[in-house]
Structure formats: structure tokens, C-alpha cells
Amino acid sequence: MTDWLMGALRRMLTLAVLCAAGFGVAGVPQPAQARVWVGFGFPFLVAPPVYYPPPAYYPPPTYYPPPYYAPPPMYSPPPVSYNPPMQYSASSQSCIVAGTSVCPMEHPVASDSSCYCTTSQGRVWGRAT
């Protein structure tokens, strides 16, 4: 503890001595040394006139008018046609569900492969004939 206190005291004393020496030197009266200078920051030279060529300009682009297309002789709307929506038809195959019920198939599949019938409860799976 005493080492720390002694080190802090020594630092403060050194700082006080340096400050006193600085103020003492600054407070000594001396004769004033004033100088006056008037200038522009660059030397005064007389140079001959210099010719700078104009910048290079390119000619404007050539104008090409847009092509003219004659209007068609007459506009006719497309023909009116009506295509009824596709409807599913029963194929010649049937689907046997659990051996108890048979329903027509919506699309043909290979014989003896799995198939389904759509009912109000969802799809029911079975075997194709």
C-alpha cells in the first residue's frame, strides 16, 4: 500500500514541477518579433498565350424514319365457336371392390391392376377386370 501511495505522490510532484517550469519560461518577458509578408502563394510569371484545341465532337446520328405499314383492308373478329366441356364416360372395364361391389372405371387401366371408384365417401380401391 505504501509503495502505491509513494508512486502516486512522486508522479504528482513531477507533474507540478514540470507545470511550474513551463509557466516560468512562458512568463519571461522578451522583445516582440513581428514579421509582415504580402504574397499570393504562387510566383508571378508572364507566359506566352497557349492554344487549346476544341474537344472532339462526333457528328449526330443519322435519322432513319420508321417503316410505314399500310393498315389491313378490313378487320374481322375471330369466328365464334363453342366447345362443350369434356365429359367422362364409363369405359368398358369395371373395378371390383372387395369382391362385393362393381363400379364402372373412369379411365382404362391394365387388367388385374389396382383401380378406384369415386363415391360420395371418397375413393374406394379395388382390382380392375
User: What is the number of domains present in the chain?
Assistant: 1
pLDDT digit string, tens, across residues 68-119: 888 777 877 777 887 777 765 555 778 887 767 788 777 778 888 888 877 7
pLDDT band (50, 70, 90) for residue 25: low
In a domain, 118, yes or no: yes
In a domain, 122, yes or no: yes
- Rounded Cα–Cα distance for residues 128 and 51 (Å): 100
In a domain, 3, yes or no: no
Nearest alpha-carbon partner for 96 in 113, 81, 75, 77: 113
Q: Which domain holds residue 128?
A: 89-129
Confidence (pTM): 0.28
In a domain, 67, yes or no: no
pLDDT digit string, tens, across residues 106-126: 777 888 888 887 777 778 888
Identify the residue with better confidence: 39 or 1.
39
